[in-house]
Amino acid sequence: MILADFPSENQDDKPTSSLEEQVALVLEQALRIDELTQLVDRKSDVISAQKKRIHALEELLRLSKVKRFAPSSEQSQQASLFDEAEIAAEFGLETTTDVTEEEAPAEALEPAVSEPPKTRQKPGRKPFSSTLPREQIFITLSDAEKAGAIDTFFTKVREELDIIPAQVRILEYMQEKAVFMAPVQGEPQRRITAALMPKHPVPGAMGSINLMCFVLIAKYCDGLPLYRQESILARYGGELSRATLANWIIALARQLQPLIHLLREQQLAGPLIQADETRVQVLKEPGRPATSDKYMWVTLGGPPGQPSVLFDYDPSRSQEVPLRLLEGFQGYLQTDGYAGYHAVCIANNITPLGCWDHARRKFKDAQAAQPNAKKGPSRPQSKADGMLHFINGLYLIERQIKDLSTEEKYQHRQERSLPVLAKIKAYLDDNQPKVPKDSLTGKAMTYLSNQWEKLTVYCTHGDLNISNILAENAIRPFVIGRKAWLFSDTPKGAQASAIHYSLIETAKANGLEPYAYLNQVLHALPYADTVEKLEALLPWNINKSKFIE
């Protein structure tokens, strides 16, 4: 066919080519075509890779817009997705249209569990706490208005919440001294006896214990930086520099360190510890740049009825930190997917426990980054939507059994949660190969697959939790405060902050008002010269009657 296109030997008016030259020309053209084909294939591969990269970047861009401008709550969209699936199942509506490899089959969106309708609370004012001190104000009739009445009485017609602004005062300690005359070698001598002064946790300090408690609560409970407290005190007439306040904080931390050791021992004796870590900037950490990341670690746990929340500063995020903090602990350790906890689990024979919140959050990000913002039962459902639906089923079960006993929780999880987990695993195995690994959905499925064994452990015991939310909630006050004070100047300051956060959050976890607890501890701490006296200052041992006016 190709040779027929070349000049024939009968054409005398044109030069002829030999057969070898024609074959060489054909081979040269074939090679050229092959090269061009390979070049097109390479460019097609590049274009395909660029399209995947563009798709991934578009996902990240949409996600960043959602995180910047959309509500931050994780519950609203999850609830709406679950409602859409129920409506679709109830009325037989199609939940998918034009299913692609990124979309979920309709059968994946069948309701996992059903939740009974919630009773709506009646609107109205919430009554004030009965523990607040109350002062009665009597509104009386005039004598003219009461003239001729056979009796008078008072009725309570309303309540108002009142507050007394901070008052700055100077405490002047007047020490009484007694003079005695006693003979010494036959000569009368004067001897003076002075009343014992109350001990102070920071001897020689210019501030009272009440003021120091105020400073600690303002910074570590309310997120008020020291420079703002400095101006507030100056406005009230008490001028103290922020350096003085910082020195108080560090000095108090040294005195409170023995309490932290006791809390750590109690926590390690419990069956479950939940752990998390977050970044903190420390300017003068030796050997590290001021802008480098250092970490505040938090652990939450302890025996039943004795919860403790302990913070610890360390410039490293390596596995040596959990090995140090959890030395001697044997039980369940619940964390996110960070690999730094693996070593301590192996070394101490600890059972690792996963967190479904982290797995769910990754699918939430994939859902939020979907390009189709259309809502309603006809909205195309992606694989992230299908997975979120099943995960929501697990959380619905947990909400329904949260008030049950340990054994009842275990039975419900065995009978109801395990079948949902089986559906999630089957859906994961079926769809993970169909999703690009570098997409948000692909990354979420990879995380879920890697963490699967840890994520199913919570069903083995009724006292375990489906998520690590308690540790995240414990570390949240630190994160909020960090936005206000931004950084710590020295490692000593960072470790002092860890000590004060530990006591405040532990007091809150045990139902104590933080200021009252710290005030009582700091008054008693200088006299606690034995381990027994220190143990009496732990939140579950302290005299709680003093917290009620």
pLDDT of 6 reads 44
Q: Among 87-91, 242-246, 308-312, 397-401, which stretch is predicted with the lowest mean pLDDT?
A: 87-91
- The CB-based long-range contact list for 404-413 (8 Å cut-off, 24+ gap) reads 404/462, 405/462, 406/461, 406/462, 406/463, 407/462, 408/462, 409/462, 409/463, 410/459, 410/460, 410/461, 410/462, 413/458, 413/459, 413/462
Mean local confidence (pLDDT), 230-251:
90
Q: What is the pLDDT of residue 74?
A: 54
Is residue 513 predicted with pLDDT exceeding 70?
yes
Question: What integer best gives the mean pLDDT of the chain?
Answer: 82
Which alpha helices (H) appear in 432-490, and where do they start and end? 440-450, 452-455, 469-485
Dist CA 345 CA 343 (whole Å): 5
d(CA 455, CA 437): 21
Locate 309 and state its tokens: 């929340």
pLDDT in tens, 77-94: 444 444 434 423 432 333
For residue 290, the model assigns a pLDDT of 82
Average pLDDT over residues 515-522: 94
The set of residues, in sequence order, having a beta carbon less than 8 Å from that of 166 and lying 6+ positions away, is 214, 232, 236
- 475: nearest Cα among 350, 298, 322: 298
- Angle, CA 464 vertex, CA 462 and CA 465 arms, to 5°: 115
Report, as an integer, the average pLDDT of 256-268.
Answer: 95
| Six-digit token string for 290 | 């001021």
> Which token pair is 116?
């009974």
- Mean pLDDT computed over 243-253: 94
pLDDT at residue number 504: 94
- What's the confidence (pLDDT) of residue 95? 38
Residue-wise pLDDT for 50-61, tens only, equals 777 777 776 677
pLDDT range class, residue 107, cuts 50, 70, 90 = very low
Please check the confidence at residue 97 and state whether its pLDDT lies above 90: no
Kindly tell me if the per-residue pLDDT of 195 is higher than 70.
yes
**Percent of the chain at pLDDT exceeding 70:** 83
Residues in the chain: 549
pLDDT of 354-366, one tens digit each?
Answer: 999 999 999 988 8
Q: How far apart are CA 64 and CA 73, in angstroms?
A: 15
Note the pTM of the prediction, 2 decimals: 0.76
**The pLDDT of residue 457:** 93
pLDDT at 2 over 80: no
> What is the pLDDT, as a whole number, of residue 67?
65
Q: Using the 8-state DSSP alphabet, how is residue 120 labeled? A: P
Q: What is the mean pLDDT of the segment spanning 269-293?
A: 87
The torsion angle over the Cα atoms of residues 73, 75, 77 and 82, rounded to 10 degrees, is 180
pLDDT of residue 374: 54
| CB contact at 8 A, 502 and 474 | no
**Token pair in block for residue 188:** 């009368």
Instruction: With CA atoms as reference, report the closest residue to 405 among 461, 357, 362.
Output: 461
User: 482 with 280: CB under 8 angstroms?
Assistant: yes
Q: What is the pLDDT of residues 449-468, one digit of tens each?
A: 999 999 999 999 989 999 88
Is residue 408 within 8 Å of 101, Cβ to Cβ? Answer: no
Confidence of residue 380 (pLDDT cuts 50, 70, 90): low
